[in-house]
Structure 1
């Protein structure tokens, strides 16, 4: 206290005029949550859960109880499972390209179709018919189907009549479909077919029958598709056979009329056999002969030209007769040259030799002429043959061009014949394959594991139901808690003062046990004194000169703790060494005089009515250390007294006599007193009762003060119970107000 007294004793003096405006420089109280230090979203939901924990726990308990009761009352259900394998296609024993087919992404469409067929209504009705469920009253009774007035379930000697069999079959199929499940195994071709029912043996029979009937229906669909395909192909074969015959007749007729004669040829590189015409063959043969004749003519011409050179020609040099003659001439010439060495040309023997040589020269010339004539004859024969062949080739070319012109339409008819033949052959081959495949009957669905009779029920699962009940109960409880939290406008936590009201929090005042507030203030170690001391400390930061010289304490409605707060703040100021007067400004419901043990015959109302004897209107609060002024006699209309200038005169005189003036103001809502009083003080300290007043009502009251341009220093949150607020524990309110009490009690016991 001495520290606080020295601190506030050095502060500047009061201002004659109270400041106007709603501004507030106050920071948030140290150690308490402020606007910027509010809880995170997780803490916010934890606070809601802790506040409504009993509601959430009750919801969980109720749901768990309901879950237990429902589980115990449920009829045990048994699940039997049969596993089948669905291949993309059956083994194609007639397909020579391969037996197995590679799986691709597009096969998903096939498998989804198969899963849909496993859940088909027709399959369910087929199973119901095979198991005899359509005419079984016990089956319908076990699944809660009561016939009533339905003629389909009319009994005749304990049996159903035949008239409603179709309706019963439909209903039986719906019952089976409602209890069957098809579960494909991931990344495999296996499918589990499970049936759930109250009878384990019946569940196994249904699962196995479902798998068997699916296989049979699959085979029947293939047979039906094969039969339909054969009929369609047979009709198409007849149609294409007629087209082929017609096109062939048209081709033969045109070839006869145009005299187009083609011969069969060997198959080509593409395996196709093409016809060839006689003209083409003749032209090819004559063209080859012409080429050969031309070569012969060129060769004969070359030999004839060489023969024109005389003895230098190749033919002359290679002729044996000419060569013999030349050899004889050479011998005679040699002999002649020897004679000339010794004799003259006129020598008889020399003339005889010269005569023989001349005869041989004439023989050689005759022989060379004969050879040259033979070569010229060969050349002329070759040339004539070449010219003859050339003429025939030219005629055949004209004939071939004419044939090509006439073969255009022929080729069109021929292509039509080829096309019709190819279509007919393809359909015929397909027709044969369908016939063979239909006879083989290979199925692509097989049973891997038949269903066994289950030994233990699959439901109800007690642990799972309890866990589900816990989750549902927690969800319902959380939803209710969140809904109530949104509906509840009560201010339960200190952090909500700034967030909901826009006011800084000066202090959080805990609720106290029953008794007079002045008696609680006498215990300086009580939590109430500690709380108001913290509020008093924060109040010192609201103005530049410290604690306001004059301020009013008001609230939204009565009984929120404003009178106790006024008394406590006046007591705290007095203990800080200040001279303080507490004025009871509530002239409608006065209460300060009761704490002083006096009556209110003289007080504020007397001064406002014109009486200037202030000393007779005050009384000392000796046990708390300050002076108080009662409200005085209750006037007929307190607001009229407050509208004059007497209250302003009173405030000036009191501030001359005391360091601080604290006014216990009336509530704001419904009255004009509080705004009138607040205009004559520096500001207002607003009291908000926690857990018991709606924030909207408080905001309306604060709005009235703001509209009158009244300065509000901050708010006091009174009657706070930390146990009702999760933030009370999180931010240490409970710990702060009880700090040292427990240790002191333990210490006292130890000393005792």
Structure 2
């Protein structure tokens, strides 16, 4: 035998495991778990209906608040706290504000809800508190005995209870906010919904009032501070001007005005000096060329010179007249000449005085110009000092200007906020007051029933899924091959599910086979025989070890029934009881055997003496009573000789072995068999147990032909065993005769 035969029969390829979704498998699974599904669904529906019937009626009142995007402009001045921008995030934020604990606490305070037993189980007159809080059923403790922490906890509990009935939502994408409040008392529900809406608007106004008041107080103090700072800054500027001679008039400092005047005077003095120097130089040039000074400009304009010239002209005419009448020596002529000479000397003297006056005037002009230049230089030095001092003055002036600007700005803002105080507007308005509801909103029987049905279906589906996940056994051929990776040999049905007519409880499956050889029950064993014999292609299969992982899986009944079926069909079959602990084959015998397998192996009896004939023609090699022995009999040479003899005498040798996980004998005997058939009880045998049993056979040259399911309920399998041949049992059962 091929030593790796069992190992090569691995699990199907991943493609087989990850096959496409099959709706028939889902339907079959649902049908298989229909009772569980119905039971769970029924429990859920009943629970929902009971809850609906015992639930206290509650009423929901609705108020509507709209964020107002329009604002009234009483004054053309901006508010301290600006209005809310009407965008989506702001509306969502205001919804959360309406849900806030602070607003709920204000509602509690305004409506005295801490004294309402519905919200406060510690309030006087409370009988165990709200139905939603059954665990708070202790009596209210006197307030004098309650610690501050406990008081705070109770206050927060009241707020939590109030918030439980509140539901705030935005109406679509509008600026409308819907406030729903649910309460067992319809009037109280409307009162609470309106209280949340009104206090929300009040809180907005108070926020603006507080902001304006705080702004006015701050601006008032700040304006007073800036007024003092402005006075100090301006005083510093003036003191610095005085200290540094930076006093000004008409926009310029005194030094600048002085320099301006001196510059003008200096220019005038220089012009006069240039004129005087020019006249003096001209007169000197004329005298240097031999002039007697009469042509000097100042002499020409001098009245004295003009008078003397007039006298000279007259005297010169007189001299000429006398010279013509009297001659050169006439006394009158000489007198006239002396007088003419005297006039000329006077003219020369006057011209000399004029030249001297020009020189003096030029000297004075130069001195005046020099003096004016010195004054200008001195004033410029003072101006340079003033300019250096004006840098600091500019800094002081800018500081004073900035303080003045800030002071004037805040003063104007203070006047605006003072004007706005008292005319603030809320950013929202109530568009619909809550009215007292006339019909309860909870419970809603139709809605609860619909939800109950959905929950029932979901719970039933979850239960089915969990049952399938937690199931340990195997149902169909597909599951055997997918989860075990071995061929599926067939199924052995329960006799009660395979028989069409009622049968007696005392009728055994083996007896039924003899009575009904053409029944579906007998056919299942013929199918099993064919699957086993053709499991090894090209090699004969004569010695077959039939085993299971755990006791109670129908191994002996299956082996005996298979032998009877094959013997009835003409095969020469022998059954060897290899279960030393239980010897289950003996219950099918008419009388307990006196000799058996162990006696044959020990040489006490021959094989023919130990074999027992069955009514079907099969042979049975049983185990005598108290046949257990601690010795290893299945690995002995005697056992090998016996199996060789059985091979030669019989067509098929069926070895009824012990469970693999319970007894080690089967692992010793299995290598001597041509094939090992693993039996698993339908729905019962855990897959883990089967895999553990199969792992004991690995690597020992053992050929596992496959797995067969026993005790299969054909009626149930035909309903929900999709993926198995028995699923179509109703379609082909007419071919079987009872």
Q: 1:177 Cα shift? A: 3.1
Contact kept in structure 2, 1:492 and 1:724, CA below 8 Å: no
By how many angstroms is 1:96 displaced? 5.3
Structure 1 partner of 2:333:
none
- Against the structure 1 CA distance between its residues 88 and 399, is the aligned structure 2 distance closer, same or farther, given a 3 Å change threshold? farther
Equivalent position to 1:453, from 403, 425, 436: 436
* Shift, 1:191, TM fit: 1.7
Which of 390, 405, 418 aligns to 1:435? It is: 418
SS of 2:678's equivalent in the other structure is: strand
Are residues 1:653 and 2:645 paired? yes
- Measure, in 2, the Cα distance between the counterparts of 1:478 and 1:468: 15
In structure 2, the residue matched to 1:528 is 521
Shift of 1:418: 0.1
Instruction: Tell me if 1:64 matches 2:64.
Output: no
Seen in structure 2, the aligned counterparts of structure 1 residues 542 and 151 have a Cα distance that, compared at 3 Å, is same
- Residue matched to 1:82: 63
**Unmatched segments (≥5 aa) in structure 2:** 131-136, 271-365, 497-502
Separation in 2, partners of 1:47, 1:138: 52
Aligned to 1:713, what secondary structure does the other structure show? strand
Q: TM (normalized to structure 2)?
A: 0.70
2:670 aligned partner:
678
Q: Secondary structure at the match of 1:440?
A: coil
TM-superposed deviation, 1:420: 0.9
User: What is the aligned counterpart of 1:693 among 685, 689, 697?
Assistant: 685
| CA deviation after TM superposition for structure 1 residue 713, in Å | 2.1
CA distance in 2, matches of 1:576, 1:689: 26
Q: Alpha-carbon deviations, 1:301-347, whole Å to 9, x = none?
A: xxxxxxxxxxxxxxxxxxxxxxxxxxxxxxxxxxxxxxxxxxxxxxx
2:406 is equivalent to residue 423 of structure 1: yes
Residues 561-570 or 417-426, more deviating: 561-570
CA distance in structure 1 between the partners assigned to 2:530 and 2:153 by the alignment: 87
Matches of 1:27 and 1:254, distance apart in 2: 107
Identify the range of structure 1 (568-577 vs 522-531) with the bigger mean alpha-carbon deviation.
568-577
1:735 to 715, 724, 727: 727
Q: Distance in 2 between matches of 1:134 and 1:637?
A: 84
Shift of 1:686: 1.7
- The match for 2:492 among 509, 517, 533 is 509
Tell me if structure 2 keeps the 8 A contact 1:493–1:728.
Answer: no
Tell me the secondary structure at the aligned position of residue 193 of structure 1.
strand
Judged with a 3 Å threshold, the aligned counterparts in structure 2 of structure 1 residues 548 and 431 are, in CA distance, closer, same or farther, namely same
Q: For 1:318-337, what aligned pairs fall within 5 Å after superposition?
A: none
Of 100, 118, 128 in structure 1, the residue corresponding to residue 98 of structure 2 is 118
CA contact (8 A) 1:48 1:482 kept: no
Query: For structure 1, which segment, 551-560 or 281-290, has the greater mean C-alpha deviation from structure 2 after superposition?
Result: 281-290
Q: Aligned-pair distance for 1:695?
A: 3.5
Scaled by the length of structure 1, what TM-score is found?
0.69
After TM superposition, give the deviation of residue 714 of structure 1 in Å: 1.9
* SS of residue paired to 2:535: coil
Does residue 207 of the first structure (1) align with residue 207 of the second (2)? no
Cα distance, 1:447 vs structure 2? 0.9
1:238 equivalenced with 2:229 (yes/no): no
Q: Cα–Cα, structure 1 residues 166 and 255, in superposed 2: closer, same or farther, change >3 Å? A: same
- Cα drift, residue 234 of structure 1: 1.1
- The question of whether the paired residues in 2 share the 8 Å contact of 1:617 and 1:630 is answered with yes
Give the Å deviation of 1:560.
2.2
Q: CA deviation at 1:723?
A: 5.8
The Cα shift of 1:670 comes to: 3.6
1:167 and 1:715 map into 2 onto residues whose CA distance is 67
Give the total of aligned pairs.
619
8 Å CA contact retained: 2:219, 2:410: yes
Equivalent residues of 2:635, 2:669 under 8 A apart = no
Q: CA deviation at 1:249?
A: 1.0
Q: RMSD across aligned C-alpha pairs, in angstroms?
A: 4.8
- Cα 1:112–1:665 shift into 2, 3 Å: closer
Unaligned runs of 5+ in 1: 1-17, 155-163, 265-274, 295-383
Deviation sequence 1:621-657 (CA, Å, 0-9, x none): 564xx54133153354356344532222122222223
SS of equivalent residue, structure 1 residue 674: helix
Secondary structure, in 3 states, of the residue corresponding to 1:439? Answer: coil
User: Which one of 49, 54, 74 corresponds to residue 73 of structure 1?
Assistant: 54
Q: Determine the C-alpha separation between the residues in 2 that align with 1:739 and 1:247.
A: 113
Supply the distance in 1 between the matched residues of 2:9 and 2:527 (Cα, whole angstroms): 14
Contact 1:510/1:719 (CA < 8 Å) preserved in 2? yes
Q: CA deviation at 1:195?
A: 1.5
Q: Which of 194, 200, 203 is matched with 1:217 structurally?
A: 203
Aligned to 2:142: 151
110-119 vs 213-222, greater mean Cα deviation = 110-119
Name the CA distance, whole Å, in 2 between partners of 1:139 and 1:507. Answer: 69
The answer (yes or no) to whether the contact 2:718–2:726 under 8 Å persists in 1 is: no
Tell me the secondary structure at the aligned position of residue 668 of structure 1: coil
Instruction: After superposition, give the CA deviation of every residue in 1:102-128 in whole Å (9 maximum; x if it has no partner).
Output: 9879984x6566445434555445444
1:539 to 524, 532, 539: 532
Distance 2:578 2:370 in 1: 152
